[in-house]
């Protein structure tokens, strides 16, 4: 399956590039035919980009490279990701509240993979608050010898059925979602000998809690 996914990568990117070129050609034309064609091309582009994202996530899940664990300043990593996403957060009218505990010290992490974890959780929080904005709280701390990270949003929340399926492969309630975000997040955390849990209430918001060992053994 991983081999097939690799094989699909090149034709898909050829398709994507040519669709983009075709769109540029049509954009130079005026009239209703050009407008109709561009609309159709945009649908194809949107779908082929979605396929590309699914494929990239699938490849990350199925053919994981060994973890590259080093001591990482987790608070700094969280701040970096939030800075990196600041424009989008502002656009989505999300207020960010950081409550970082500087006692946690360095944590043994694969920094690139862990960045993906945080980006995915913040993106989900932003999507959940897309309608009317809200607040995103990012907390760190120590609990019972473990490092705890909390990502809390005041978005739409989940009903119990959605919550039960949230970590399932390909489960998504979004028109453009792959449903691979949370399975990937969970997999990465488990590879760090950690765990993630989620509490959510429809209409109120969602809290993801990640617990990591201070210096877990790589798997």
Ligand X SMILES: Nc1ncnc2c1ncn2[C@@H]1O[C@H](COP(=O)(O)OP(=O)(O)OP(=O)(O)O)[C@@H](O)[C@H]1O
- Would you tell me which residues interact with Mg ion (CB under 5 A)? 124, 181
Nearest approach, Cβ of residue 210 and ligand X (Å): 13
- Exactly one of 173, 204, 215, 219 binds ligand X (CB under 6 A); which one? 173
Among the listed residues 75, 124, 154, 186, the single contact to ligand X using CB under 6 A = 124
Per-residue binding string, ligand X, 15-54, x by CB under 6 A, is ----------------------------------------
Q: Can you tell me the distance from the alpha carbon of 216 to that of 31, in angstroms, rounded to the nearest whole number?
A: 62
Strand partners of residue 113: none
**Shortest CB 202 distance to Mg ion, Å:** 18
Instruction: Answer for the pair 30, 154: CB distance below 8 angstroms, yes or no.
Output: no
The two three-digit tokens of residue 129, written as one number: 């608050």
Smallest gap, in angstroms, from Cβ of residue 9 to ligand X?
18
Is the distance from CB of 45 to CB of 20 less than 8 angstroms?
Answer: yes
Q: Which is nearer to ligand X, 38 or 196 (CB)?
A: 196
- Give me Rg for the CA atoms of the chain: 20
Asked if residue 172 binds ligand X (CB under 6 A), the reply is: yes
The nearest distance, CB 137 to ligand X, in angstroms, is: 12
State in Å, rounded, how far the first CA of the chain is from the last one: 22
In this structure, are residues 199 and 206 in contact, taking their beta carbons and an 8 Å threshold?
A: yes
By the rule CB under 6 A, 196 interacts with ligand X: no
């Amino acid at each position: 399956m991983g081999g097939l996914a690799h094989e699909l990568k090149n034709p898909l990117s050829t398709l994507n590039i040519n669709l983009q070129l075709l769109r540029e050609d049509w954009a130079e034309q005026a009239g209703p035919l050009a407008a109709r064609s561009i609309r159709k091309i945009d649908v194809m582009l949107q779908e082929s980009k979605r396929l590309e994202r699914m494929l990239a996530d699938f490849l990350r899940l199925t053919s994981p490279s060994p973890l590259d664990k080093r001591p990482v300043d987790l608070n700094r990593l969280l701040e970096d990701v939030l800075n990196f996403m600041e424009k989008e957060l502002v656009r989505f009218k999300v207020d960010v509240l950081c409550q970082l505990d500087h006692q946690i010290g360095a944590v043994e992490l694969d920094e690139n993979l862990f960045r993906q974890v945080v980006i995915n959780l913040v993106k989900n929080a932003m999507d959940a608050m897309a309608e009317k904005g809200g607040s995103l709280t990012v907390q760190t701390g120590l609990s019972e010898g473990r490092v705890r990270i909390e990502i809390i949003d005041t978005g739409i929340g989940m009903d119990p059925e959605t919550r039960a399926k949230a970590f399932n492969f390909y489960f998504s309630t979004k028109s453009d979602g792959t449903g691979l975000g949370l399975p990937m997040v969970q997999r990465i955390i488990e590879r760090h000998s950690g765990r993630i849990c989620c509490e959510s209430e429809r209409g109120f918001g969602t809290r993801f809690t990640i617990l990591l060992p201070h210096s877990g053994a790589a798997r």
